[in-house]
Structure 1
Amino acid sequence: MPAPFTAADAARLKKSLQSVIADGVTPGSVIVYGTADGTPEYLSAGIVAPECGDEAPTRHTAYDIASLTKVVATWPLVGRALHDGLLDLDEPLRDFLPAMNGETPSAEATVRQLLAHTSGLRASTRLDHYRGAELPLHELMCREPLDDAPGTHRYINRGYILLGLALAHINDQPLDELAAAMWEDLGMPEVTYGPLSRSHQVAPTEQRIPGAPRVWGVAHDDNAALLGGVAGHAGVFATPRSLAQYAQRLLTAYTDQTDTDLGEWTRVSLVPQAAIEPGLDRGLSWVLAAGGRVAYHHGFTGTSLYLALDTGRYLVICTNAVYHGNARTRIAPLRALALKTTSAT
């Protein structure tokens, strides 16, 4: 039986949430938590953003989820492609991209290595450096040399950009259309690639140029923006409600044999592929903690998704903490509490 969160859990989360808002870490936030078979519970505090007046964030507020795109769009689409025989985890990426000429060392990485961040690909990705080039993007990226030996764990976005390009190629369909059809199948209508119209229901992110409007309704990530907001590593917008639906679906699939395809892909993906640091391992896309009992992922804008596999718990954090600059350090205490609370037995 799933283990529900307690009133004390909710009180601690609420206090931490109010603290990060009072400290100016983020304008506002929504936390949603629950179990695979329960009704989601929501904690909300602060405002969407000063541009939205006193509007409080709700379960329907759309957040730029940044790198959660990896596990909400790319990872499940890879699972579908594997099931359909369009991909192979242990074959090189070059087999799933348009034909290329010359040396392409970065195309030798396998799909498994790309998902697990063990490809050795160059860590820095500046798509603006390719402007004006005659070759297609996938070939330009694949011609880049490696930074590390294959098998070395290093978190990078480049592999997921290439996976997004490969998914579009093997399905002969744009990535955003593939993802939209999948989210419809999963019952997640409030998940989408941008752009979104500016409104009180969409959380703005960062002001890049003093005096200019904030990034609002378009991808915060520079490389995703250069790809029109549609990329394998970033660019997706989602609501707290939709991420709760997704978490419940994954937890149910993990234990319920009726959803065999998604369940099997989830179980395969939550096997450690590489050590990150003591107590943390990398699965396929997901970070594994608490002895592999919890899988999670973060987004640069201030979002997080946690799944407790043995207790059936999940927790989602939606913030636009990047509104005040790099949010990673300042939001860490809230994320640490979320992981501890989710993993409690």
Structure 2
Amino acid sequence: MDQAAPMFTTAEIGALHDVLHEIVAEGATPGGVVVCGTRQASGTAPGARAVLSAGVVSPFTGPGTPDEHTVYDIASLTKVTATWPLVGRALDAGLLDLDAPVREFLPPMEGAMPSAEATVRQLLSHTGGLRAATRFDLYDLTERPLHELICHELMENLPGTHRYVNRGYILLGLALAHVHGRPLDELAADLWAGLGMPDTAYGPVRQEPRVAPTERPEGHDRLWGAVHDGNAAIMGGVAGHAGVFAPAADLATYAEHLLAGGESPLGRWFRMSLVPQAEIEPGLQRGLGWILGAGGSVAYHHGFTGTSLFLAPATGRYVVVLTNAVHNGAAARIRITPLRDCAQKILAAG
């Protein structure tokens, strides 16, 4: 039986509570939810959780206080809650190879395809050298399939150089759909159902008070239940880099699975992914998907809309942060940094 993870102290919970309320009071986000918890004490017993909330879901559509069941657009957390675990499953099934070019797992292509030479490992670790700017609104998607348009492009960096790139995860999502012969959202839905995450899904989701809206694009109504990421929207809301909606309760369940230990395929894949692949900056490494901070003691990922998931593998503790900070304008999301910093500091301290 795995040893129980240390509980969060009253002081730690209080610090997260105070910072959450401060950023809401300062207008960084209409509201938000934080869940701090521990891994399962055994194969069946749930971990301990503390749920913190502040503000409102939205002053326009959901004036109530958000809770762990409020559904948020989790943006780039899609990478580590959909694409990354599905890649791990496909590797176990022999459908993908970490060190093979992604072109081997996409429909056949003719002509020079420079970006198709990036390996699955490189795409997972943002070291494939692909173009950083996505801008599918500038593509002629009637000319050829999206994977060909991406793969036809020249690389912007030498392979092995770290640069955060959405299109790598877009290619991985397309590759997963191809090797399985099923749409990405169906593959992800099966994954989440098996993990006990009933309210996690690719959008669009139903417009209701428990769904947090995001930004109001110029000339349009506020985005509510529809993906915030414009490139994912062009892809129909289902993409390897963005498009997933989830509540904090489901992400806490997911964190408990990742931290549970044992020899589950997901647990093994998580531990394997914590091996540094490239340096982001001094003291910060990139694993397979995850950012490794605090000397590798904390693995985490952020989402553009104002979301984060922090995991401390050694102690079995985690922090889920869900906000809709872009509700107040895309620039406002930077103002939730104190909350993210607080969560990471607490986990790094043990």
Bin of the TM-score, shorter chain as denominator length: over 0.9
The answer to whether the 8 A contact 2:307-2:322 is kept is yes
Does residue 1:33 correspond to 2:36, yes or no? yes
Structure 1: stretches of 5+ with no match in the other structure:
none
Deviation track 1:181-215 (CA, whole Å, cap 9, x = no partner) reads: 111111111110000121101000001115x3101
1:330 equivalent in structure 2: 335
Letter in 1 for 2:21: Q
| Residues 101/206 of structure 1: CA separation in 2 closer, same or farther (3 Å cut) | same
* Equivalence for 2:148: 139
Contact preservation (8 Å) 2:134, 2:167: yes
Aligned partner of 1:250 among 245, 258, 265 = 258
Q: Does structure 1 retain, via aligned residues, the 8 Å contact 2:28–2:333?
A: no
How do residues 181-260 of structure 1 correspond to structure 2 at under 5 angstroms?
181-210=190-219, 212-252=220-260, 255-257=261-263, 259=264
Q: Percent identity?
A: 61
CA offsets, 1:159-186, max 9 Å, x none? Answer: 0001000000000000000000111111
CA–CA distance in structure 2, aligned partners of residues 29 and 263 of structure 1? 29
Q: From 120, 123, 131, give the equivalent of 1:122.
A: 131
What is the 5 A alignment of 1:258-277? 259=264, 261-277=265-281
CA drift at 1:112? 0.1
Superposition deviation, residue 134 in structure 1: 2.1
Q: Whole-Å Cα distance in 2 between the matches of residues 114 and 79 of structure 1?
A: 13
**Whole-Å Cα distance in 1 between the matches of residues 283 and 342 of structure 2?**
16
Secondary structure of 2:97's counterpart equals coil
Structure 2 residues without counterparts, runs of 5 or longer: 41-46
| TM-score, normalised with respect to structure 2 | 0.95
Please report how far the alpha carbon of residue 53 of structure 1 lies from its aligned counterpart in structure 2 after TM superposition: 4.9
Q: Secondary structure at the match of 2:52?
A: strand
- Work out the CA distance in 2 between the residues paired with 1:82 and 1:132: 30
Q: Give the paired residue count.
A: 340
Query: Which amino acid in 1 is paired with 2:239?
Result: A
Partner of residue 284, structure 2: 280
Q: Quick one: distance in 1 between partners of 2:141 and 2:169?
A: 23
Aligned CA distance change for structure 1 residues 100 and 57 (closer, same or farther; 3 Å): same
TM-score normalised by length of structure 1 = 0.97
**Aligned twin of 1:151:** 160
Quick check: 2:62–2:210 contact (8 Å CA) kept in 1? no
Match of 1:169 in 2: 178
Structure-1 separation of matches of 2:67 and 2:249: 9
The aligned amino acid for 1:20 is I
The SS at the match of 2:299 is strand
Secondary structure (helix, strand or coil) at the match of 1:73 reads helix
| 1:59-78 deviation line (CA, Å, top 9, x unaligned) | 11100000000000000000
User: 2:82 aligns to what SS in structure 1?
Assistant: helix
